[in-house]
Amino acid sequence: MQLLDATVLEACGISPVDTVLVGLSGGADSVALLHSLQQCLRDNLLSGLSAAHLHHGIRGESAVADAAFCARLCSQWNIPLAVGHVDVPLFARENSVSIEQAARKLRYAFLHEQAMQAGASCIAVAHHAGDQAETILMHLMRGSARAGLAGMRMQNGDVIRPLLKQSRHDIET
């Protein structure tokens, strides 16, 4: 099963001359995204592909194992990988924000920095249909206006979500 094709890439604003940076956590979603974009690269639907992995300083040894897995995978697939480390709990305390807010802010700052260094025109993240449903429910619970009920877009500036219409089951398959 192929998760991505030229139609999905076009819906995300990607053209064959683009280089894409993938936010790679090491989980099933981001690995499937990287694999699918690697196929697109092979099929000449992309100009270049790289990945970035951020250690958030939260999960200890399991996070170290994730970073090592990402490094091995990218080495096997011949995909450049940037690895960073931040202290999310410290940032959260110093800025009086939640761990989730701090992690998101630091992750996207890191991804944007790495995209610039890699010459990437966009950053691909592995949000899928289940994440979309969760986002809409969260917006409903907080009493969001109609705009918030739309959820995430496939393209939001330079951040793209090519798997947004895919189910978790399809991704894992």
Q: How confident is the model at residue 38 (pLDDT cuts 50, 70, 90)?
A: very high
* 56 or 74, greater pLDDT: 74
Residue 1 lies in a domain: no
Task: Find the length of the chain.
Answer: 173
Residue 17 lies in a domain: yes
Q: Encoding tokens for residue 63?
A: 């996070």
Q: What is the pTM of this model?
A: 0.85
| Phi and psi, residue 81, nearest 5° | -130, 130
- Amino acid letter at 41? L
* 19 or 147, greater pLDDT: 19
CATH code, domain carrying 166: 3.40.50.620
Name residues whose C-beta falls within 8 Å of residue 79's C-beta, 6 or more positions apart in sequence: 34, 38, 49, 50, 51
Per-residue pLDDT of 101-157, as tens digits, reads: 999 999 999 999 999 999 999 999 987 655 555 655 665 666 666 655 666 577 788
Give the separation between CA 6 and CA 28, rounded to whole angstroms: 22
Q: Domain count for the chain, please give it.
A: 1
Residue 48 lies in a domain: yes
Q: Is the pLDDT of residue 89 over 90?
A: yes
Q: What is the largest CA-CA distance in the chain?
A: 46
